[in-house]
Homo-oligomer: A and B are copies of this chain.
Amino acid sequence: MSATGPRLEFWYDFASTYSYLSAMRIEAQATAAGVAIDWKPFLLGPIFKAQGWDNSPFKIYPAKGRYMVRDLQRLASERGLRFTLPANFPQNSLLAARLALIGSDEGWIAPFTRAVYAAEFADGADIADRSTLWSIVNSLGLDFEPLLSRAEDAGNKQRLKGQTAQAQALGIFGAPSFLCRGELFWGDDRLDQALAFARHN
């Protein structure tokens, strides 16, 4: 993949169940399609708030929430993934997203992202718990404490706010979302279509 070859932006919130499905498969599928992925963590919270929601739509609309769990169970099963809805859902994804931005600069955002989602939605761990993130960072051969202080640096906090504002400006209203040359695709169900678009247009 050259720097000028096809690229696709993958916008995700670590609290998002359907983003878990995409995160676990996007790299393999993108490589097979010859498409480079730009990993774009952001926060759905401010975007939901602007839509008048103070919680996950899966909490606000219980029938939809019950269905989502069943749908995830079926899809995860088909793909050989485990799915556990964590005891506290939706989780606070702020620190994970701040850490991911550093991984974006240093080349470990993809394995970090997969490890966070697996901890959260396969094991049901709490990703707002620093010990969960400590284990994940260590499993990647990195030191947690220096990363934590960089993650919580004012500039990095602002960067995540900026990325979230950019998502909203791009018309993103949910996660996962995929973006290529102004064309928006929403939901894990559109990953194949988004990759095909990135490859052929």
Contacts and interface: CB of A to CB of B under 8 A. Distances in A.
Contact of A173 (B67, B184, B189): B67
A31 to B, nearest CB: 24
A185 B189 CA distance: 14
Nearest to A189: B189
B193 A67 contact: no
A130 interface: no
Interface residues of A, number: 21
A51 interface: yes
Contact of A186 (B67, B174, B183, B186): B67
B66 A171 contact: yes
Within the oligomer, what is the number of copies of this chain? 2
Contacts of A193: 74
B64 A173 contact: yes
Interface in A152-201: 171-174, 183-187, 189-190, 193
Nearest to A61: B51
A25 B183 CA distance: 26
A63, A70, A186, A187 interface centre (most CB from chain B within 10 Å): A63
Contacts of A54: none
Interface string A52-72: 000000000101101100110
Nearest to A50: B63
